[in-house]
Each structure stands twice: as structure tokens, then as C-alpha cells.
Amino acid sequence: MRRFVLGFALVILCAAGSAMAATTRDLVIVTNAGASDVRSIEGTGALVNSVGSDGVFAEASAAEQAALAGIGFSVRVVTPNITAIYAANGSDGQYLTYAQFRDTMATIAQNNPTICKLETLGTSYNGNLLLAMKVSANPLIHENEPAIHFEGNIHGDEKIGWAVAFEMLKYMVSNYGTDTLVTRLVNTRELWFQPMYNPDGYVSGDRTNGNGVDLNRNWGWMWGYENAMGNAPFSEPENRASLAHILRHPFVIFVSFHAGSEFASYSWSCSPDTAPEKPLLEFLSLRYIVPNGYDHGQGYQGMYPINGSTKDYDYGQGMMGWSIEINFTKTPPAAEIEPTFQRNRTAILEFYHRAGQGIHGVITDATSGEPVHTQIWVSPANWPSFNDPTLGDYHRFYLPGTYSVTFRAPGYHDTTVSSVVVPNSGDSSVTVDMQMTPAALSPLFGFRVIYCYSEPSSYNADPRADIVLGPHDGTAYPLTTGRQLCLDMDRAVHNVPGTDLTVFRSSGSGTATVKGSNSWQGPWTTIGTANSAQTSFDLSSVGLDSVRYVELTSSGTFNIDAVEGVNDYVGIAGQTLNPKPQTPILQAQSPARGSVRFSLNTPPPAGTRLLVRDVSGRLLSSFVIRTSSFVIPAPLPAGIYFASLEPGGSAPLRVVLAR
Ligand SMILES: [Zn+2]
């Protein structure tokens, strides 16, 4: 009977949209504290809202206030029981319940199928759906368009962020076809909305997810030295889902809405260093604050130092990223939703518009025409971004000016286009398409940083971890003791006879434990220790067939220049990778999906056959070759095959059909 009553009470609470808030807190000001005290204040469990000239605004329970006093802080209550105020405000029907939001998202998608696609990115720690809506013409296919992502509520108690992102979604959908600007933007952009990033916290009224982790301290760019940061970068399912989303769709602009202050905050937050493209971040910030008058600036100085934030990860991956604090009250009365939305509406439209400004193009293989996953380095800042892996398109926001752009992909020649002019007229964009020329014998290399640890006991880690990307060049990233770095090689490095993987150290005597895996989430296998200027590893010595991800853990300061992998990918015109050339020489050119074009350097002798076997040695195909260029008649699924000529007698040619 008692259990029944409790369940009934919970149903009532949930139906009212009210929070089952765990901790009752007051809004307080810590008068003798500043930005450098935020981490200590949070260490008591208190939540920091903002840092001002009169002190640090925070939310603290009675016990947390006692703890603050115990370590020497002076605390004054500004608003008693702010938790109850948030709960009362949030129980107004305009703040939808999780279930109402979930169902409304589905209804919007069903009613607007020509411009909406609803995606479930994953599930939260407590099993709630992580819903994202794509709004774009032809929403079911990826088009060559700049993509922009807005999310709200990564801190579950900051419900106004959910409300504004959700209002913006409804605004774009309901004004499509009637409002000229909205229609143009939906037709020419891919607009993504994830209003309820942290449904667990939204339901409970907590800042954290259901696992008690602050999701805006758990991202992988300089992760560590934080409270409630989780036990590893991307340990939380909400952030893993969002990372996969980013890897699938590189965004020009990625914005997280927050509340508790009014501030448009850009990178870096993890370091006082200036972001390489600060003028771009500053320009867009100034455009954003026109209709709302928010403060703006670099997060580290303008807010307070934090590690593991979304914005720093975004910027580390070549996207323009912000945390935008949109209201001093985290969950204001529902009557404030509409005016807060109006303060942000034209600012968001401005970001949508500006995402089309700059440098765009499509990157393909010069031989096959297939998309090539590529780094795009724009100088003079020399900061990388990435193209969409499925279509090959890239979009960089840039201001009018003249730049040089370098395209770099494992297995291809670097190509630099100088004198790229972003015009100061029209839509201010320039198209630079690129056909990449294969470089069969050049090594694979670190393609992107998946995560990197911060300094273990301070906020001064060098945020430019991108310096390890690409082949070795003498420039290095200083990985200090205990820090980890995870690199995605983009393609699997295969075990071949001899050296497969080489780690380059530019200087110093530090060492690094090197681990490998085919998933960035592991399981990891220790490959060995990098302890010299150039340490080579043979994957067969630890029983690995391939590794796509490489993790390094330093001991002493390890100045890591690069990680390189053997390139045994065939399908590359004009080269043979067969270590034992045969006569005639068999080549495989640029594999397309399911097929490979082979060529021979001489016409085949009468009766020559091509044999194709799978990895177990099973014969899949055998047919007579009559021309020096041919394809396997039957398409093959993605996988690894071995092709050989008969008669031939030499080692079979390894053929990898990817994607
Ligand atoms: Zn927040």
C-alpha cells in the first residue's frame, strides 16, 4: 500500500512538470571570491552562476554554505530557496514535461516532413531520448550546405535554454514558406536543434545528468581538473551521442544555451591563450549581441576558467563554438520565455546567415570522384577544420580577405591553394573545390584529436593540441606527465610485415605509453613505449591486426610531433603497393563502393586469371582477364580481400573495400 501511494505521488509530480529536486539551495553571493575561486566553491557542491565585481554568485544549500564558510568564504543570501522558485516557475505548463516535449518533437516532424527530420542521437544516463531536429529542405539527404547546431539545457536546471531553442525551432518551421528570410535559410542551410540536451537534469531540476556529471565539464578538449567532470572524457552517454553527431556533421557554428548570467562566451575557456581565429569569434559575438545587449568575450577571462566545455571542443574541431548565457535566472517565470526568445531570435538568424559567409567547397578523389575525408587548414591562423565525410563538402566562416587553404588527408598529397579571396560583396563567399591526388606511399597520420587531458592541477594546458595532426614536421605538442591524448587516424593502420606505427618526439626525454584500438572507446591494447625521437612498433608483436585510434599517456613531458601509420591502402592510381611485384604488375585503383578497378602494366598473357579470396582464403571469384583494365564482375561488400594473378606466383595483392 505504501509503495502504491509513493508511486502515485511521483506520477502527480511528473504530470505537473515539477522537479524532484534533490537539494534545496539559496541564491548567494560569495563576497570575498573571484574567478580563481570558482573551482573551490564548486568543490563544496555549490553551483556557480557568474563572477562579478562584488563577488561570485552561486546557489548553495545550508550545508554547502557552511562548508564555504569553513574554508574562509563570506557568504550572503540573496534569494532564499531559489530551488523552489525554479520548481514553481518550471511547473508552469509552458515549460513542457519531458514526455510532452518528446511527443511534440515527433508531432512537428510528422506534420512538416518536407523540412523536418527527427533524429534520436542516443539515450541519456537515465534512458531518456536525446532528440535532435534537422530543419532543411530535403531533410532526408545531406546536401552541400553549411550546418548550424543550437542546443539548450546541457545544464538541466537552466530550462530557459530549452525554451529558447525550442521556440526557435517552432519559429523556423511555422514561418517556412511565408517569411522570405526563414525560407531562404531553411532552403540553403542545415539547421539542427537539440533543445533538451540533458533530459535527466530537466526532469529532476538538477544541473547534472542522472549520473551526477556536469556535462559541460565532460567534453574531451582539455578534460580534467574539474568538479563533477566524470571519470573520463566523454564518459557520459549524452556527450558520446553528441560527439558522434559532430563527427557525422561538422558544423560551422555550434551554440550551447546556458542561463544564470548574460554572456556570449567563446574559446578558450580552458586557457588564457588567445584562440587562433579570435577575430572571427569576436566578429560573430558582436553580431549576436546587437539585439540583446549581452556581454561577450573569451570564456576564460569573461566568465571563469573551465575545462571540458562544449565550446572548447567545438573550436578544437574547427567549428565556431559558443556558450551563450541568455538570462540571469536559470528558470524564470514562463512569462519571460517569449521576451527572452525575442532577444535571441534575430541574433540566431544572423548566425544562420553568417554561416554561409567564407570558404566552401567539395573535396573528392581525383581518380574516383568519391568524397575524401580531409583536414582544411586556413592560414594565416593555420587552424584546421574537417569536411563532411559522406559528401565531402566543407564550410568555413571567414571574413572578407585573402587566405591560403591547405587540404590534407591521409593517403593523399597535400594541396595548398593560395590567394583564396573571400569577397567583400554579395554573400561574401568563395568556392574552392578540391580533387585530391592519391599518394600511395606516404604514411597515414593523426587525422583528428578525439580527446586530450588538461594539466592535472591547473588551467594552463596548451589548447593547441591540433599541432600533433598530420605527418611529422618537427613541431610538437607538450604532453606533460599523466596526460592522455587520443588520435583518430581516420583509416585503420594495418599490420603488415615490419613497422606499422611510428611515434615521433621532437625533443626532450619524456616517454609515452602507446595504446591502440579500433574504437576510441576502447578496449585498448598496450603496444609499447615511445622513448626516442622515432619509436617504431609492429602490431603483430602484440597480436593486433589493425588500429584506427592511438592513445598516448605521457611520463615526463613528451613532446609529441606526430603519429604515423603504414599506408597499405590500394586503390590508388599509378602505384602498386604489392611488396613483391609480379609480372605483369597488378594494381587496384580507387575503390568505389563495392567495386575496384584493376589494371595491369602490360596486356595479360592469354589465359591469365584473377583470383579473389576473402581473409579466410575462401575463393570468391575466378575469371579470365582479357584487357589490362578491368573490374571484378560481381560487386563485393566492404571488407578485406586478396587478389592474385594465375599464373603469377607472387604474394597476393591486399584489397580493402571501405565504406
Ligand atoms: Zn550552464
- Asked whether residue 570 is assigned to any structural domain, the reply reads no
Detail the DSSP E strand segments found in 299-392: 320-327, 358-365, 375-379, 383-386
Residues 214 and 279 in one domain: yes
What's 426's domain CATH number?
2.60.40.1120
| DSSP H or E segment with residue 64 | helix 62-70
> Which of 117, 114, 194 is closest to 148 using CA atoms?
194
Residues 427 and 481 in one domain: no
Instruction: Say what the pLDDT of residue 572 is.
Output: 33
Cis peptide preceding 584, ω within 30 of 0: yes
> Which of 437, 440, 441 is closest to 369 using CA atoms?
437
Helices 337-354 and 180-188: angle between axes, nearest 10 degrees: 50
Q: What residues contact 407, with CB distance under 8 A and at least 6 apart?
A: 363, 374, 375, 376, 377, 414, 415, 416, 417, 434, 436
Residue 596 pLDDT class (50, 70, 90 cuts): low
Distance 258 CA to ligand 1 centre (A): 4
Q: What residues contact 112, with CB distance under 8 A and at least 6 apart?
A: 173, 176
Q: What is the pTM of this model?
A: 0.85
Residues 397 and 260 in one domain: no
Instruction: Say what the pLDDT of residue 615 is.
Output: 72
Mean pLDDT to the nearest integer, 117-127? 98
What is the tens place of the pLDDT at every residue in 230-289? 999 999 999 999 999 999 999 999 999 999 999 999 999 999 999 999 999 999 999 999
Instruction: Say what the pLDDT of residue 635 is.
Output: 61
Q: Residue 590 and residue 634: Cα distance in Å, rounded?
A: 17
Domain that holds residue 240: 111-354
Detail the DSSP E strand segments found in 31-127: 47-52, 55-60, 75-79, 116-123
Residue 15 pLDDT class (50, 70, 90 cuts): very low
Distance 329 CA to ligand 1 centre (A): 11
Instruction: Say what the pLDDT of residue 628 is.
Output: 74
Domain final residue pick, 436, 456, 485: 436
154-158, 222-226, 573-577: range with lowest mean pLDDT:
573-577
Residues 350 and 364 in one domain: no
Residues 115 and 73 in one domain: no
Cis peptide preceding 523, ω within 30 of 0: yes
What is the tens place of the pLDDT at every residue in 519-569? 999 999 999 999 999 999 999 999 999 999 999 999 999 999 999 999 877
Residues 420 and 463 in one domain: no
Distance 70 CA to ligand 1 centre (A): 26
Backbone angles phi, psi at 325, to 5 degrees: -85, 115
Distance 456 CA to ligand 1 centre (A): 23
> Which of 215, 320, 305 is closest to 269 using CA atoms?
305
Look at the chain and report how many structural domains it folds into: 5
Q: What residues contact 52, with CB distance under 8 A and at least 6 apart?
A: none
Instruction: Say what the pLDDT of residue 20 is.
Output: 54
Instruction: Say what the pLDDT of residue 584 is.
Output: 47
Nine cell digits for residue 131: 532528440
- Asked whether residue 100 is assigned to any structural domain, the reply reads no
Domain final residue pick, 417, 436, 455: 436
Nine cell digits for residue 92: 508552469
- Asked whether residue 106 is assigned to any structural domain, the reply reads no
> Which of 396, 400, 367, 419 is closest to 591 using CA atoms?
367
Residues 405 and 527 in one domain: no
Instruction: Say what the pLDDT of residue 402 is.
Output: 97
- Asked whether residue 400 is assigned to any structural domain, the reply reads yes
Nine cell digits for residue 434: 578540391
What's 649's domain CATH number?
2.60.40.10
Mean pLDDT to the nearest integer, 622-647? 72
Residues 322 and 452 in one domain: no
Can you give the length of the chain in residues?
659
| SS3 readout for 211-229 | CCCCHHHCCCEEECCCCCC
Please list the residues that pair with 551 across neighbouring strands.
Answer: 486, 515
Instruction: Say what the pLDDT of residue 616 is.
Output: 72
Instruction: Say what the pLDDT of residue 624 is.
Output: 82
What's 174's domain CATH number?
3.40.630.10
Q: Residue 619 and residue 611: Cα distance in Å, rounded?
A: 7
What is the tens place of the pLDDT at every residue in 460-493? 899 999 999 999 999 999 999 999 999 999 999 9
Neighbouring CB atoms inside 10 A of 466's CB total 22
Distance 106 CA to ligand 1 centre (A): 26
Nine cell digits for residue 273: 591563450
**Ligand 1 is an ion; residues with CB less than 5 A from it:** 155, 158, 258
Q: Quick check: 10 pLDDT over 70?
A: no
Instruction: Say what the pLDDT of residue 315 is.
Output: 98
Instruction: Say what the pLDDT of residue 426 is.
Output: 67
- Asked whether residue 12 is assigned to any structural domain, the reply reads yes
Q: Residue 283 and residue 355: Cα distance in Å, rounded?
A: 12
Distance 182 CA to ligand 1 centre (A): 28
Neighbouring CB atoms inside 10 A of 624's CB total 11
Q: Quick check: 122 pLDDT over 90?
A: yes
- Asked whether residue 277 is assigned to any structural domain, the reply reads yes
Residues 501 and 461 in one domain: yes
Q: Quick check: 650 pLDDT over 90?
A: no
Helices 159-175 and 98-111: angle between axes, nearest 10 degrees: 20
Distance 404 CA to ligand 1 centre (A): 37
Distance 253 CA to ligand 1 centre (A): 18
What is the tens place of the pLDDT at every residue in 392-434? 999 999 999 999 999 999 989 999 999 999 999 767 899 999 9
Residue 644 pLDDT class (50, 70, 90 cuts): confident
Q: Quick check: 100 pLDDT over 50?
A: yes
- For residue 179, CA distances in Å to 150, 168, 184, 193, 497 come to 21, 14, 9, 19, 63
Distance 154 CA to ligand 1 centre (A): 7
- Asked whether residue 382 is assigned to any structural domain, the reply reads yes
Q: Quick check: 654 pLDDT over 80?
A: no
In percent, how much of the chain has pLDDT > 70?
Answer: 88
Is residue 525 within 8 Å of residue 515, measured between CB atoms?
yes
Distance 259 CA to ligand 1 centre (A): 6
What's 514's domain CATH number?
2.60.120.260
- For residue 277, CA distances in Å to 298, 353, 497 come to 12, 19, 43
Distance 339 CA to ligand 1 centre (A): 20
Mean pLDDT to the nearest integer, 21-30? 89
Distance 579 CA to ligand 1 centre (A): 56
Residues 289 and 156 in one domain: yes
Distance 107 CA to ligand 1 centre (A): 28
Distance 277 CA to ligand 1 centre (A): 24
Residues 297 and 412 in one domain: no
Instruction: Say what the pLDDT of residue 632 is.
Output: 67
Q: Quick check: 4 pLDDT over 70?
A: no
Domain final residue pick, 331, 354, 377: 354
Residue 622 pLDDT class (50, 70, 90 cuts): confident
Residues 168 and 306 in one domain: yes
- Asked whether residue 130 is assigned to any structural domain, the reply reads yes
Instruction: Say what the pLDDT of residue 187 is.
Output: 98
Q: Quick check: 571 pLDDT over 60?
A: no
DSSP state of 649: -
More confident call, 596 vs 380? 380
Instruction: Say what the pLDDT of residue 617 is.
Output: 75
What is the tens place of the pLDDT at every residue in 295-340? 999 999 999 999 999 999 999 999 999 999 999 999 999 999 999 9
Distance 158 CA to ligand 1 centre (A): 6
Distance 325 CA to ligand 1 centre (A): 7
Is residue 241 within 8 Å of residue 126, measured between CB atoms?
no
